Amino acid sequence: MAVIGRGMYGQFGPLTDPGEREFSAKVAALGVDVGLSPYNHYDVNQIVIDFNAAPADATLLLWGSSLGANNAPIVAAYTHRIIHGMWGFQASDYGAKVPITSNVLFAHEVYNPNWVGTLGLGHYEWVLASNNRTTNLYLSARYSMHPGETELSQAMFLAEMQRVIDKPAG
């Protein structure tokens, strides 16, 4: 069974977000087809196209940092596929605030609860759509520099990804 994952940088991606590049390489090391990850935060349509074209039995994983974390729920809302797992490093108060739709089975975001320390970068907490009774959403407060791709958060997300990959479909 194919495992397809896509990750997105934050704003100014390659210049300001080397942690996303590092994390995407670690996801690829799990045997995940990461395509051209990390994609720019505005490459939502390309990721939606990739997911919609994936084999029917593929496990789909999605992640992002900063504005990429803001845009992960947009990808989920635009795709007609089940997203088996979605992870976010510190979505921004200044990005899109789209609730997570019920086609996402598992979601976990780390955010920084200290608005003063981040000036809103990394402070936004993901929320579920009002009719979503499907997604298991976890939020973890972490007082870390933005965009928050610390070794601890990366290790936590990678372990969760492995569990999602290992879980039988259905």
Q: What are phi and psi of 146, to 5 degrees?
A: -75, 135
Q: CATH class for domain 3-166?
A: alpha beta
Q: Is 120 left (phi over 0), alpha (psi -120 to 50) or beta?
A: left
Tokens of 158: 């990678």
Q: What is the pLDDT of residues 90-123, one digit of tens each?
A: 999 999 999 999 999 999 999 999 998 888 999 9
Type and span of the H or E element at 109:
strand 106-111
pTM metric for this prediction:
0.96
Q: What is the pLDDT of residues 41-88, one digit of tens each?
A: 999 999 999 999 999 999 999 999 999 999 999 999 999 999 999 999
